Structure 1
Amino acid sequence: QKTVADRSLIVQAGSNSVTLKNLKKNTVYVRVLNTGILPIGQENVIQSNVSASIVFKNRKGSVINVSKISQGTEFIAEVTVKNQRNEHIENVALSQILPSGFEIVNTRFTDYGDATNNIADYIDIRDDRTNFYFGMKAGETKVFRILLNASYLGSYYLPGLQCEAMYDNTFLARTKGFWVEVVK
């Protein structure tokens, strides 16, 4: 006979813990799920078995600073992911959420060329984010490029990257976000 118990736990600010005690001799399987939204600017930077970084480049390939960028500027977000394990990892998800002042330029229908020709098992491009799903060989490095346009004037928060193996929580990288300003 199998029994499933589902309990909501009250979480308070600071450190929390859960203790379970098996009063029988049977096997108990426990799963604790934690969900939430990281506070702006207070993301926890993590590099566990994978590293992820992002640089922004102009169309000529030179690194640029996007913390203050002119409206109408087209630029490339270049994300580098490196498998730091000595083994193949499947089902890796890379997510980049973009600020509402930036627009993704869909290069599939433009003459931009193959500078943003990304290779992944599945690519999901939305209005405000890109998601790449792929596998990685031991020690492999992958680079993904997204063409962006600084479209709308104002200050916006650019969240950090998140890269993780969907079925292995020891394979995770998260970077810190920062504020950007689109100016005239």
Structure 2
Amino acid sequence: MSDGWFTFWPRGWTRSAWTSIYVVHFLVEARKAGYEVSDRVYDRMISALERNVRTRIRDRWELGRRAYACYVLAAAGKPNRSAMLFLKNNELHNIGDYSQYHLAGAFALSGDLKTASTLLPSTVDPGEVKRESGRNFNSSTRAAAIMLDILAEVAPDNPAVLRLVKTLGDRASKRNRWYTTQENAFAFLALGKIFRKQEPGHYTGKITISGNPYADFDSRDQRFTAKNWGGKRVSLQVKGSGNCYYYWKAFGISQDPDIPEYDEELEVRRTYLTKNGHPIEDMVFKQGDLIVGLIACKALTENLDHVIITDLLPAGFEIENPRLESRAGIEWIGRRDYRSDYMDIRDDRLLISVSLPRQRERKFYYAIRAVTRGKFILPPIAAEAMYDPAKSSVSGTGKIQVVE
């Protein structure tokens, strides 16, 4: 935006406070790492943070953002000591653990190591933090990653470093991933700073597929890929010194046609209607017909922000008009259509971002055209809270037919 803040979505019109500081943080890190960041953008966003830390604090979420902004300004070489001292002297008992680390990091990066050391807790307890789908997007994994990031910058020999590294590793192993993009970003930022201080490895290794030799590798970055590894055992043998880090990724279409449907604190449903608003229950459509897609979504247990609805189309359909309030001839929709925070229209799907108050159903209408004759699989519709992905819903798998 023109004032140096960032919106959550392209062409958005409202600022996202935590997201703005988060974006500035990673652009500061990128510039420090040698990547080019436009001076015009950089100067404007730093000025926005400098203005922000001089404003009045209104709530506890603002306290967390203020500590984060102080840290980012210090990392950019522009610390605001008066804002830092205000938090230390007046609000320290009100801010969370990772925010206290942010404040300690701000003092350390501004050259005041003595004050920083008094703010770092003597013990680290990366316990459970209630996950937030909005506001400051809190989560336990991100809190642990922030603590590790600060220690990597100001106290890399702190005994808590190894514990936090293990915590992040365990949480990734539990579900074979961290949950959200922010958790990934903060975790990799922190772990990267720790691993960068390690001596490079000197080793060689072999990859075998189902017991058969496939390739040799060494300590240089290398990549191997193949289409026929599905269902086979991939093994690595390493000899030498140092640590060998690897990752693997598999992608494709599941051979299991059964997709489980569920509602986990979130409910999404899809209905196809005629142009006159009547449900099409037999799922048989005439080629060339206009169809109205109705998506209904509801948060079941609490308010949810940044819920992404993914409506995959069957192969015989095309999206014609995602905003039916502007289409003449479908007056019956009237004011019943809820305006989304963001909409992304693709060839095979419609993506919608919404915020949902608890137990209040939101409805979205869009136009589809039946274009290709045949029988097609109807993919499910899914909804997921971006920053609390355990809250999700999948429904509506089936079949459709397009006839003359």
Q: Shift in Å at residue 38 of structure 1? A: 4.8
Q: 1:155 aligns with which of 368, 372, 375?
A: 375
Query: What stretches of structure 1 of length at least 5 have no aligned partner?
Result: 3-24
Conserved? CA contact 2:382–2:395, under 8 Å: yes
Q: Shift in Å at residue 100 of structure 1? A: 2.0
Structure 2 vs 1, CA of residues 169 and 131 (structure 1 numbering), >3 Å: closer, same or farther? same
Q: Report the equivalent of 2:163.
A: 26
Q: Report the equivalent of 1:19.
A: none
Q: 1:104 aligns with which of 287, 308, 319?
A: 319
What SS does structure 1 have at the residue aligned with 2:390? strand
Conserved? CA contact 1:41–1:177, under 8 Å: no
Q: Shift in Å at residue 111 of structure 1? A: 3.0
Structure with bigger helix share is: 2
Q: 1:43 aligns with which of 249, 252, 259?
A: 259
Conserved? CA contact 2:269–2:396, under 8 Å: no
Distance 2:393 2:257 in 1: 16
- Higher RCO (CA 8 Å, separation ≥ 6 residues): 1
- What whole-Å deviation, never above 9, does each CA across 1:38-95 have from its counterpart, x for those lacking one? 556411101000111111111111111353221111111111111101x321110000
TM-score between the two structures when normalised by the length of structure 1: 0.76
What do you get for the CA RMSD once the two structures are aligned? 2.7
1:52 aligns with 2:268: yes
Conserved? CA contact 2:322–2:365, under 8 Å: no
Q: 2:289 aligns with which of 64, 70, 73?
A: 73
Q: Report the equivalent of 2:392.
A: 172
Q: Shift in Å at residue 113 of structure 1? A: 5.2
Query: What stretches of structure 2 of length at least 5 have no aligned partner?
Result: 1-147, 149-161, 178-248
What SS does structure 1 have at the residue aligned with 2:352? strand
Q: Shift in Å at residue 154 of structure 1? A: 1.1
Report the more deviating stretch, 136-145 or 31-40. Answer: 31-40
Structure 2 vs 1, CA of residues 60 and 110 (structure 1 numbering), >3 Å: closer, same or farther? closer
Identity %: 22
What SS does structure 2 have at the residue aligned with 1:105? strand
Distance 1:171 1:102 in 2: 29
Distance 1:165 1:107 in 2: 22
Q: Report the equivalent of 2:96.
A: none
- What whole-Å deviation, never above 9, does each CA across 1:130-179 have from its counterpart, x for those lacking one? 11001111222111112111111111111010100011022100014111
Q: Shift in Å at residue 98 of structure 1? A: 0.3
Structure 2 vs 1, CA of residues 100 and 122 (structure 1 numbering), >3 Å: closer, same or farther? same
What SS does structure 2 have at the residue aligned with 1:111? coil
Q: Report the equivalent of 1:129.
A: 349
1:82 aligns with 2:82: no
Conserved? CA contact 1:76–1:145, under 8 Å: yes
Q: Report the equivalent of 1:8.
A: none
